[in-house]
Chain A
């Protein structure tokens, strides 16, 4: 089966920033993404867990799969929101089946 190269960008960000980030992505023409809850983890500030979080705190993961040539546009839009905040941005090479969808 034929596959096509794409970039998978995963952005972990504080939950209150979710809408700001997804709006920025849409404004930059990134129409497809998924938002996942993050249950907990550990980082520079130590261990944390979603348990005991009240309100819109905690973290969410926003995942986009895009054509490689759109990567810079996405990163510029995302970084304008993400830069001062706790979180992580990672980029990976993936293969997708239906290139016209990305």
Chain B
């Protein structure tokens, strides 16, 4: 247990996590510190490209194995199933309506790519190897949760007009910018391999952690602002859910990782994916599909509670648990 805490402590004291904490503090203390919206968007494009490209290069170097298909299927199954668990918990622990609970559940079944990028970087900094194809698993886990949530909303008696799903929304979900960029960069990395990386490594490797620090500083500010408004929309039950759900999700992710036989790094990433909640792709999809659901509850929970929890305590804990159970 002492070793576990020591590992978690080491993972916590990284420039990335501390930058996030700085942003969180600045927002809560109502500092005027802010990152221009366009700069934040540019940094997110850079991070998605870099993480996708490096994942592709890793796959090109080690080749594909049977674990890739198993990890993809495991990730998709998690994304379908986690909303069912989240919905049940929300209905038991809170007074949220079925529609609001379904919308929140969609966020928790999908993933936060920023949390995934941070976990990947923390693992690299610790010298813990992980499967490069986890980038593709992350992309595959974005959408299935939306299907589960819409089914939950419809099953719970969503009236006509409360649940709206059409081909155009599917197109927007499956081809949203972050998925296209992540998968595209992954394929570019897989095709060009080490030779491709050698040509652009000064751009995608060396500056990566510094850019991530600035991006997480901004995310800390965003999360801090979310936390400031949290007390207006979040009850104690909903708050407890925001902490409990990532732990349950990570436990399910660990189970899938053990079943598949992922490395310690791969297991930590699968736990992180299962524990994280979407706050970019799913909120937009839910506004179209479930317009009557209250967007402030799900966004505040995902961004103001679960995202900071995963970054500060979750990722270090998931990494430590995966290492303790699977080894180096």
Q: Give the docked Cα–Cα distance between A48 and B168 (Å).
A: 28
Q: Is A16 interfacial (CB 8 A cutoff)?
A: yes
Q: Give the docked Cα–Cα distance between A20 and B284 (Å).
A: 13
Q: Is B91 interfacial (CB 8 A cutoff)?
A: no
**Minimal Cβ-Cβ distance residue in A for B225:** A52
For window 39-91 of A, CB contacts with B under 8 Å fall at: 45-46, 48-49, 51-52, 54-57, 83-86
Q: Mark B21-64, 1 if CB is under 8 A from A, else 0.
A: 00000000000001000000000000000000000000000000
Q: Give the docked Cα–Cα distance between A45 and B232 (Å).
A: 11
Q: Shortest beta-carbon distance, B7 to chain A, in Å?
A: 30
**Minimal Cβ-Cβ distance residue in A for B172:** A16
Stretch at the interface among B70-78, B194-202, B266-274, B289-297: B289-297
Q: Give the docked Cα–Cα distance between A14 and B284 (Å).
A: 9
Q: Are A57 and B284 in contact (CB under 8 A)?
A: yes
Number of A positions contacting B (CB below 8 A): 19
Q: Are B283 and A85 in contact (CB under 8 A)?
A: no
Q: Mark B217-237, 1 if CB is under 8 A from A, else 0.
A: 000011001100000100000
Q: Is B108 interfacial (CB 8 A cutoff)?
A: no
Q: Give the docked Cα–Cα distance between A17 and B285 (Å).
A: 10
Report chain B residues within 8 Å CB of A20: 168, 288
Listed by A's residue number, 16 A-B pairs whose Cβ atoms lie within 8 Å are: A15-B284, A17-B287, A20-B288, A45-B294, A48-B296, A51-B34, A52-B222, A52-B225, A54-B222, A54-B280, A55-B283, A55-B284, A57-B284, A84-B161, A84-B292, A85-B287
The 6 A-B pairs of least Cβ separation, nearest first, read A55-B280, A52-B225, A16-B284, A84-B291, A56-B284, A16-B287
